Amino acid sequence: MVKKQSIEKNLRFTPKFDKSGLIPAIAQDARTGQVLMMAYMNRQSLDLTIETGYAVYFSRKRRKLWKKGEESGHIQKVEQILVDCDQDCLLLKVSVDAGQCHAGYQSCFYRALKKGSSKKLEFIAKKAYKPEKIYKKGKSGSINSP
Amino acid sequence: MVKKQSIEKNLRFTPKFDKSGLIPAIAQDARTGQVLMMAYMNRQSLDLTIETGYAVYFSRKRRKLWKKGEESGHIQKVEQILVDCDQDCLLLKVSVDAGQCHAGYQSCFYRALKKGSSKKLEFIAKKAYKPEKIYKKGKSGSINSP
């Protein structure tokens, strides 16, 4: 077993997958700094991401590899892959077009908790595109959601 | 059961905790946009975060609530809590001082995969403080890591 201090200090990339074989990966717009989404990768999707230079996740719902944008066209070109101190979370700096979330927004984080409330959200973004025009099956996010 | 479309479109805050009762929460510097860390919250830590205005996580290792900065002083003042389309991930915009990671860096993401390599990392940040001076027990991150 690799020691905690060693994991934090050394320069070997040893991403830690959980017992389901997954590691969370945050996608951040390399240009604007906006956090776009969080999804999961398994070993194979991480390898494909590194190999191809485009983000490939693992869909927990569909139990299969999910190349971001395979249906919508909203792909993510990976500029840099960062890893955290414990090597159990990845941060992808990506180049993207407009509209990364299958719900039509640039980021999946398009709502925020209202000030002073613990239950009510408010929209903090406007839609970047109309998802119903892109997803052929007519189901929002049928193939493009985590 | 609340429908997927409803979860994506409505303005009720219904965060989805996994079967361990946890939800991932990304902390992002509200001023610079830098992603600082990813940790987990349970219902109680989320409620405390909303109530107090300071980030409280749930440490999976120590199986207890973890007020960020309780030992180090590197607290996170929460400016805004965002939730993603599926409501299964949170994004906290936080105001912070220098040195958020227990390893001494501003962000936990202080290493990146080297261009063209799938195994080698490189440091992309300089230390913001000396952790050994802050953590009294002499063990890096003894109480301040996820």
Say if residues B56 and B45 touch (Cβ distance below 8 Å): yes
* Record: contact A112-B34, CB cut-off 8 A: no
Nearest by CB to residue B83, choosing from A13, A37, A121, is A121
DSSP classification of residue A108: S
User: Both tokens of residue B32?
Assistant: 């610079």
Strand partners, A80: A93
Nearest by CB to residue A112, choosing from B24, B81, B146, is B81
Strand partners, B93: B28, B80
Residue A136: CB atoms within 10 A of its CB come to 10
* Strand (E) or helix (H) holding B58: strand B56-59
pLDDT mean over A14-32: 97
Burial class (CB in 10 A: 0-12, 13-18, 19+), B98: exposed
Distance CA B107, CA A76 (A): 23
Distance CA A76, CA A69 (A): 7
* Record: contact B82-A109, CB cut-off 8 A: yes
Distance CA B66, CA B57 (A): 5
CA distances from B111 to A87, B108, B122 (A): 10, 8, 5
Distance CA B7, CA A145 (A): 13
Rounded to 5°, the CA angle B80-B83-B85 comes to 150
Residue % of chain A over a pLDDT of 90: 79
Global pTM reads: 0.91
Q: In the predicted model, is pLDDT for residue B108 greater than 80?
A: yes
CA distances from A102 to A17, A72, B112 (A): 26, 8, 28
Distance CA B122, CA B117 (A): 10
* pLDDT tens per residue across span B35-68: 999 999 999 999 999 999 999 999 999 999 999 9
Which residue type does A77 have? K
Q: In the predicted model, is pLDDT for residue B140 greater than 50?
A: no
pLDDT band at A143 (very low <50, low <70, confident <90, very high): very low
* pLDDT tens per residue across span A44-99: 999 999 999 999 999 999 999 999 999 889 999 999 999 999 999 999 999 999 88
Q: Which chain B residues have a beta carbon less than 8 Å from that of A84?
A: 37-38, 108-109
Q: Which chain A residues have a beta carbon less than 8 Å from that of B120?
A: 11-13
User: What per-residue confidence (pLDDT) applies to B139?
Assistant: 45
Q: Which chain A residues have a beta carbon less than 8 Å from that of B5?
A: 140
How does the average pLDDT of chain B come out, rounded?
91
> What ipTM did this prediction achieve?
0.91
